[in-house]
A and B are shown apart, each in its own frame.
Chain A
Amino acid sequence: METKPRILIIDDEEVVLDSCSQILKGSGYQLEIADNGVRGVELVQEFQPDLVFVDLKMPGISGFEVLEKVREIDATIVTVVITGFATVSSAVDAMKKGAYDFLPKPFTPDEFRMIARRGIERRRLMLETIALRREKELLREQFASIVSHELKAPLGAVQQNLFALDLELEQTLTSSQKIKMERIMVRIAELLKLINSWLRVISVDINKLKDGFTQLSITKPVSNALESVAALAERKNIEIVSSINAELPPILGDAISLAEVFVNILSNSIKYSPDGTRVVLNAGVQGQNLVTSIQDAGIGISPEDLPHIFEGFFRGKSGQAMAGHGIGLAVARQIVDAHHGSISATSELGKGTTFLVTLPIFVKD
């Protein structure tokens, strides 16, 4: 059985409350009334209305305040303001602040019924939209699990068997056969990596990271990241110079995912820099924040591309020549966001790029 739509009317004039109750009697709505703002707000909590009529001019807390409170409690509740003719302009103000409609006094029963019906319809649509959005989210999660089961698991099984085969044939294969074998395994490893990074983007609720936040020094994720990219840097003969020391104030966060942030930025710095150049890491206090900078002398990012590099699945002109998926920086940004920090980049084509990771300093309370 469908529940009856709920309407709340908040007005200090008894006549208005009475006539509204009268009009809506028997029309399939559940009705509550309040003769002042404070009681009205209480009822919003208890009664959980779909639609609230609010008189703008009441003694005590004003209609505007009530509107604001309603929105704080549940932004999907539809509000309609009741006003006298003289105060139509304040009705406009109210609608600018999110009221859906207004009901001018005096009103006929038909006018009131119509506005009530429209308000209820509006609420229904809002809830439906939210439900649809949720459904989409579920589908997204579903998609992630399909990707992991139907794609990743078989590929993993293939790779596992290749590993075994490679081991068993160690003494048998010629060197050119070994090279082919190696090529297959490398390509599969790359595919697995790609699937992992997709999954990372679509399935991981980065906000859940917050449950595991601890007080830590930025040196931990930075040095973990440096370790991770060391081989990559060596291959390109790029020297990474870090002047980050342990003296810095602590931050609150998740060391593993922060390391991922730095790995993603650093591997770009290496990837998009010519051989033999330097990457410079620095960190310092700026106000309430700890700012870490990663500066490269690479190919740079064009001004058109720069605003988009954190968006996800975006590959700049500079990126197109290289292997990549346009995911690293999007993930980095999500992680930094979850830490209540920010990430930004400045760049000059042909000169290099500097990334800044800003994280709030941990304060004991």
Chain B
Amino acid sequence: MTKRLLMIDDDPDFVSGIKAILDTGGFEVDVAYNPKDGLAALQTKQYDLLLLDIMMGRGAEGIMIARKLRKDARLRELPVLILTGMREQIAFLFPGEPIHPRFVEIDELVEKPVEPKLLLEKVNSLIAAAETKKAGRK
């Protein structure tokens, strides 16, 4: 079944670059250009993964979304791929060494811009991790 993703990011040009790659990868991608629309979409539709920008609007509004997710029993299960341009804030990224901020149960952080191969890899593995977890509980 086609996986459905939601991307929340306020830079339309960046979004189009990411979306094109995900389209190629066979995903169905919805986009919200601000946190408000993003939260509304999360409430009304079912997604397999969220791509979340951290620095939006007047600061780290992406973090607020992560916080809201954590409080929601259903959304808490949603895997989140965090995309950030703030490399210097997360110091030094090691090649191949993943960063899990643990904003929600299953998440991972990658730096903008992100190469197609890495993007598809991360999306697939996060979705797989969430599914494994769900299956394990049943």
Residues of chain A touching chain B, judged by Cβ–Cβ distance below 8 Å, are 148, 152-154, 156-168, 192, 196, 199-200, 203-204, 224, 227-228, 256-257, 259-260, 263
A158: chain B residues within 8 A (beta carbon): 13
Inter-chain contact B20/A153, CB cutoff 8 Å: no
Q: How many B residues face the partner with a CB closer than 8 A?
A: 24
Known contacts A153-B11, A228-B94; is-contact A167 B116 (Cβ 8 Å)? yes
- Residue ranges of B at the interface with A (Cβ–Cβ < 8 Å): 11, 13-14, 16-18, 20-21, 24, 85-89, 91-92, 94-95, 97, 112-116
> Which residue on chain A has the smallest CB distance to residue B89?
A204
Q: Quote the shortest CB–CB distance from A147 to chain B (angstroms).
A: 10
**In the complex, A259 Cα to B97 Cα: how many Å?**
13
Contact of A167 among B11, B14, B21, B91 (CB under 8 A): B21
**Given A161-B16, A165-B20, A227-B94, 20 more pairs with CB closer than 8 A:** A152-B85, A156-B85, A156-B112, A160-B18, A161-B13, A163-B115, A163-B116, A164-B20, A164-B21, A164-B24, A167-B116, A168-B24, A192-B113, A196-B88, A200-B88, A203-B88, A224-B97, A259-B94, A260-B92, A263-B92
A165 vs B92: C-alpha distance when bound (angstroms): 28
What residues of chain A lie closer than 8 Å to B21, measured between beta carbons?
163-164, 167
A148 to B86, alpha carbons, bound, how many Å?
Answer: 8
Cβ contacts under 8 Å, A162 to chain B: 17
Does the CB pair A167–B24 fall under 8 Å? yes
- Asked whether B113 lies within 8 Å of A163 as measured between CB atoms, the reply is yes
Closest 3 CB pairs of A and B: A160-B17, A164-B20, A161-B17
- Chain B residue, CB-CB nearest to A152: B85
Q: Closest CB of chain B to A184's CB: distance in Å?
A: 13
Asked if A156 and B88 sit within 8 Å, CB to CB, the answer is no
**Are A156 and B92 closer than 8 Å at their CB atoms?**
no
Q: Is the CB of B17 within 8 A of A257?
A: no
Q: Could you list some 27 contacts between A and B, CB below 8 A? A: A148-B85, A153-B11, A153-B85, A153-B112, A156-B14, A156-B85, A156-B112, A157-B17, A158-B13, A159-B113, A160-B14, A160-B17, A161-B17, A163-B113, A163-B116, A165-B20, A166-B116, A192-B113, A196-B87, A204-B88, A204-B89, A224-B94, A227-B95, A256-B92, A256-B94, A259-B94, A263-B92
* A189 CB to nearest chain B CB (Å): 9
Residue in A152, A153, A154, A257 whose beta carbon sits within 8 Å of that of B92 in the complex: A257
Chain A contacts for B86, CB-based, 8 A: 148
Report if A228-B91 is in contact (Cβ < 8 Å); known contacts: A156-B113, A164-B17. Answer: no
